[in-house]
Amino acid sequence: MSSLYVILLVVIAVVLMGVSLFRASLVKTKADYLVAGRSLPAIVLVFTLLSSWIGAGSLFAGAENAYRNGFAALWQPAGGWLGLLLIYFIAPRARKFAQFTIPDLLEARYNQTARALGVIAILFAYTGICSYQFRGGGDVLHLIFPDEVTPELGTYLIAFFVIAMTALAGMSSVAYTDLIIGSLVSITCLIAAPYLVIHAGGWAGVRAALPANHFQVLGNLTLVRALEFLVPTMLLMLGNQAMYQKFFSAKSEGDARKAVVGWIIGTVILEAAIITISVVGSAMFPTGEVAAHPREIIPYTARHGLPALLGALLLAAVFAKVISTASNFLFSPATNLVNDIFVRYVSPQASNKSVLIVSRLCVVLLGCWALYQAVFAESILQKMLYAYTVYSAALTPVILAAFYSRRVTPWGAVAAIATGTVVTLAWDIPGVKGNFPAIIAGRDAIFPALFAAVAAMILVSMVTPRPSASQLAEFS
């Protein structure tokens, strides 16, 4: 059994590193590194979008939610599904804009201050997302090798591998390794989910083993709590810089739109399969180690509830998926430091060679910061909600306003980004929430931060000069 896991993990690691080394040999310019030379076809875009979105947030945080609340956990991925419906119309506009990062967009539509604040918000959000990928990957390695690898050691090993792989070839590496990983994960989950249902005694057996509310729309959740899962997921999807960078990397506007159709279909099917595996796993393993750490339910079920080969493939798929998502969310903020700070302010005339060196250094530094956060993150679900909220409140409203509002002003955008970031970061500081009524103080940060950011954007836009015609031209 152990030798099978070792073989699969080694094969995956070698293949992924091999793809990165090969793609690195093709990287010559800043555009090659940051947006894959704007050459990605629709099929590659589908799988890189799918892989960047479905990672530890789904495989661990979503699974933890499903273990506790049953199918009501679908409220979380449903936010992404709603966001995807809107993204179908945004994707061609994003490819037409064809820059490198979200802060590029913020400066073009608003001003340099919006750009700088956008970089700060992205760094907090994306290193947070990357950190729980490292933590989830460490859990997988511990479950595979319980006597040899502790969760902490596994976290360090995953972080080292992801940092090295991502630094090599940038977007080109990320996109083409995602093609391999996305295919593996999709096929394995679609086989494992129905097998587990049958193995657990069929649908009747699963229902008999779990509380009735695990099959209800809200389950153990209140409507407000369900929306606290849905809204930040939807808003992160709508403003996700990693997604926009993929659109910027597309061969054409048509490829970008086609990719979204495939992404919608793939996300709905795969997220539903992941929740199903988690719920069935909770019926099969209601006690023991996994009850204390429910975020581990999918790899635990793969290890103990599936035949050796299928279980090993699912564990390997989870392992690969964590690596893929970590690479995406590590690479994305690194492009911000390079494109929005180094090239923009430090060395505007930097050569391609200098940009590539600095880009790789930024990947390493941000990877170390994400690793530091991972060491102190116990609940992946809570870390996910924090990271999603920073981005959702601070950036998504102004990104959507860039494409769909002609009235939001540069200083309105600045006020929104600053307010959303500050409220999110301050919300859980001891004593802050105590200044509000209990009905507000008991909530996660998403609604207070989002309300404050949108209110600031509207109010400041009402009293500051309208954007110029040149600021609006690229977004019409």
The model's pLDDT over 139-180, given as tens digits with 9 standing for 90+, comes to 878 877 887 888 889 899 999 888 887 776 555 555 566 667
Give yes or no for residue 455 having a pLDDT over 90.
yes
Report pLDDT for 201: 86
Per residue in 212-251, pLDDT tens?
Answer: 889 988 888 888 888 888 888 888 777 777 676 666 666 6
Give yes or no for residue 258 having a pLDDT over 90.
no
Report pLDDT for 464: 93
Report pLDDT for 96: 58
The full 3-state SS of the chain, as one line of letters, equals CHHHHHHHHHHHHHHHHHHHHHHHHHCCCHHHHHHHHHCECHHHHHHHHHHHHCCHHHHHHHHHHHHHHHHHHHHHHHHHHHHHHHHHHHHHHHHHHCCCCHHHHHHHHCCHHHHHHHHHHHHHHHHHHHHHHHHHHHHHHHHHCCCCCCHHHHHHHHHHHHHHHHHHHCHHHHHHHHHHHHHHHHHHHHHHHHHHHHHCCHHHHHHHHCCHHHHCCCCCCCHHHHHHHHHHHHHHHHHCHHHHHHHHCECCHHHHHHHHHHHHHHHHHHHHHHHHHHHHHHHHCCCCHHHHCHHHHHHHHHHHHCCHHHHHHHHHHHHHHHHHHHHHHHHHHHHHHHHHHHHHHHCCCCCHHHHHHHHHHHHHHHHHHHHHHHHCCCCHHHHHHHHHHHHHHHCHHHHHHHHHCCCCCHHHHHHHHHHHHHHHHHHCCCCCHHHCCHHHHCCCCHHHHHHHHHHHHHHHHHCCCCCCHHHHHCCC
Domain ranges (residues) in the chain: 2-381
Instruction: Name every residue whose Cβ is closer than 8 Å to that of residue 375 and which is 6 or more positions away in sequence.
Output: 152, 155
Report pLDDT for 414: 94
Across-strand partners of 250?
Answer: 40
Report pLDDT for 459: 96
According to CATH, the topology of domain 2-381 is Sodium/glucose cotransporter (1.20.1730)
Report pLDDT for 460: 95
Report pLDDT for 456: 95
Of the pLDDT bands very low, low, confident and very high (cuts 50, 70, 90), residue 39 is: low
Per residue in 371-383, pLDDT tens?
Answer: 988 887 656 667 6
Q: What are phi and psi of 100, to 5 degrees?
A: -110, -40
Q: What's CA 204's distance to the chain center, in Å?
A: 34
Q: How far apart are CA 270 and CA 438, in angstroms?
A: 38
Q: Which residue has the tokens 């956990």?
A: 73
Report pLDDT for 58: 79
* Average pLDDT score, the chain: 80
Q: Compute the chain's Rg from CA coordinates.
A: 22
Report pLDDT for 461: 94
The count of residues in the chain is: 476
Per residue in 59-105, pLDDT tens?
Answer: 778 888 898 888 998 998 888 888 877 777 766 665 555 455 678 78
Beta-carbon count within 10 A of 37 CB? 17
CA atoms within 13 A on the CB side of 102: 31
Instruction: Name every residue whose Cβ is closer than 8 Å to that of residue 473 and which is 6 or more positions away in sequence.
Output: none
Report pLDDT for 441: 67
> How many percent of the chain have pLDDT more than 90?
10
Give yes or no for residue 422 having a pLDDT over 80.
yes
Kindly compute the dihedral angle of the four CA atoms of residues 238, 236, 450, 74, in this order, to the nearest 10 degrees: 100
Residue with the bigger pLDDT between 335 and 378: it is 335
